[in-house]
Amino acid sequence: MRVKVTPSHVHGQVSIPCSKSMAHRAIICASLSKGKSVVSNISYSKDIEATINCMESLGAKITKQEDSCIIYGTDLSIHEDLTLNCNESGSTLRFFIPLASLIDGNITFIGQGRLLSRPMEVYENIFNEQNCTYKQADTIQIKGPLKPGHYKIRGDISSQFISGLFFCLPLLSQDSIVEIIPKYESKSYVELTISMLKKFNIEIIQLDELHYKIPGNQQYKPCDIVVEGDYSQMAFFAALDKLNGPIECLNMDETSLQGDKAIIDILKQYNGNDVVIDLSNCPDLGPILCTFASFQPVQTKIINAQRLRMKESDRIEAMEQELKKWGVDMESTYDTITINGKPEYKKDKIVELLGHNDHRIVMALTVFGLCAKSESIIEDAQAISKSYPHFFEDIQKINGKCEIL
Q: Which residues contact 363 (CB under 8 A, 6 or more apart)?
A: 236, 287, 288, 384, 388, 391
- Nearest CA to 343 out of 294, 270, 299, 305 is that of 294
**Burial label, 192 (beta-carbon count in 10 A; 0-12, 13-18, 19+):** buried
Cβ atoms of residues 361 and 386 within 8 Å: no
Per residue, the 3-state secondary structure of the chain, as one string, reads: CCEEEECCCCCEEEECCECHHHHHHHHHHHHCECCEEEEECCCCCHHHHHHHHHHHHCCCEEEECCCEEEEECCCCCCCCCEEEECCCCHHHHHHHHHHHCCCCCCEEEECCCCHHHCCCHHHHHHHHHCCCEEEECCCEEEECCCCCCEEEEECCCCHHHHHHHHHHHHHCCCCEEEEEECCCCCHHHHHHHHHHHHHCCCCCEEEECCEEEECCCCCECCCCEECCECHHHHHHHHHHHHHCCCEEEECCCCCCCCHHHHHHHHHHCCCCCCEEEECCCCHHHHHHHHHHHHCCCCEEEEECCHHHHHCCCCHHHHHHHHHHHCCCEEEECCCCEEEECCCCCCCCCCEEEECCCCHHHHHHHHHHHHHCCCCEEEECHHHHHHCCCCHHHHHHHCCCEEEEC
Which amino acids are annotated catalytic? 284
- Nearest CA to 266 out of 306, 294, 293 is that of 293
